[in-house]
């Protein structure tokens, strides 16, 4: 897909979702990091329920770093994969305390050096906590980018590279949210609701679903 058609795709989605925004609740970089780690293979709604109870108890990296994984696990069990998430969250918070005086760093390399933080999580933190132009590729962005024709790579990392080359940097953040909102509300994984999709055959590579 060329840049002009990609811009038209984003315009169509923006018209459908003018209010597109993050659906995870957080108020600072620490909360952004923890909520994003918890969101792996879990709905934002479920994460928000958990963090509403968790953050008042452990409001910063220093407080969280005092825990052992078995103490955190019951508090985040509803998010799934709680053994690994608890281990990574505590290890990441201990690293924040030891290396960054309890603060979340604002570079991709430093974030990805933290336990449990990969490219997608680092991108979300940079974007949501620091306003850095990013277009993180989660499951929705990966699926829709390939289905619509914005990208054709076979890994999230490569899809992110293609999106960066295709889309104007000024819409990366908004475009990330647009694709997620569309994936959750219309362009579902198993059965896309093409009857309610504003993208026609010229803009969507899978128009045959209509």
DSSP letter for each residue of 22-40:
--S--SSHHHHHHHHHHTT
Q: Does residue 49 sit in the same domain as residue 101?
A: yes
Give catalytic residue positions.
120, 138
Q: How is residue 138 written in tokens?
A: 């989660």
pLDDT of 208 strictly over 60 = no
Final residue of a domain: which of 130, 165, 182? 130
The CATH number of the domain holding residue 8 is 1.10.1670.10
Residue 142 has pLDDT above 70, yes or no: yes
The whole-number pLDDT of residue 1 equals 87
Place of tokens 């329920």: 49
pLDDT digit string, tens, across residues 145-171 = 999 999 999 999 999 999 999 999 999
C-alpha 71, offset from chain centre: 26
Residues 39 and 112 in one domain: yes
Q: What percent of the chain lies above the pLDDT cut of 70?
A: 98
User: In the listed set 94, 113, 130, which residue is the last one of a domain according to the structure?
Assistant: 130
How far apart, in Å, are the Cα atoms of 158 and each of 5, 95, 166, 172? 20, 29, 12, 15
> Taking the mean position of all CA atoms in its chain, how far away is CA 127?
9
Identify the CATH number of the domain in which residue 80 sits: 1.10.340.30
pLDDT in tens, 54-99: 999 999 999 999 999 999 999 999 999 999 999 999 999 999 999 9
User: Tell me: the pLDDT tens digits for 8-18?
Assistant: 999 999 999 99
> Cα(137)–Cα(2) distance, rounded to whole angstroms?
19
Distance CA 125, CA 142 (A): 18
Number of domains observed in the structure of the chain: 2
pTM of the model: 0.91
Q: How many CB atoms lie within 10 A of CB 9?
A: 26
**Whole-number pLDDT of residue 16:** 95
Q: What percent of the chain lies above the pLDDT cut of 90?
A: 90
Tokens of 206: 């899978």
Which two structure tokens, joined as six digits, stand for 57?
Answer: 């108890």
- Domain end residue (candidates: 130, 156, 182): 130
Residues of the domain holding 196: 3-20+135-209
């Amino acid at each position: 897909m060329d840049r002009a058609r990609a811009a038209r795709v984003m315009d169509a989605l923006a018209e459908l979702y003018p209010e597109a925004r993050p659906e995870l609740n957080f108020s600072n970089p620490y909360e952004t990091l923890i909520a994003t780690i918890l969101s792996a293979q879990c709905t934002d709604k479920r994460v928000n329920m958990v963090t509403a109870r968790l953050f008042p108890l452990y409001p910063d990296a220093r407080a969280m770093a005092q825990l052992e994984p078995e103490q955190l696990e019951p508090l985040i069990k509803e998010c799934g994969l709680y053994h690994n998430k608890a281990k990574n969250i505590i290890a990441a918070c201990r690293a924040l305390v030891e290396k960054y005086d309890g603060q979340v760093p604002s570079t991709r390399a430093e974030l990805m050096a933290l336990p449990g933080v990969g490219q997608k999580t680092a991108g979300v933190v940079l974007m949501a906590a620091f306003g850095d132009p990013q277009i993180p590729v989660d499951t929705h962005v990966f699926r829709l980018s390939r289905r619509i024709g914005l990208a054709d790579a076979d890994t999230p990392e490569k899809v992110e590279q293609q999106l960066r080359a295709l889309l104007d940097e000024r819409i990366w953040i908004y475009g990330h949210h647009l694709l997620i909102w569309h994936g959750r509300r219309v362009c579902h994984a198993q059965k896309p609701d093409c009857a309610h999709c504003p993208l026609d055959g010229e803009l969507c590579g899978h128009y045959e679903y209509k």
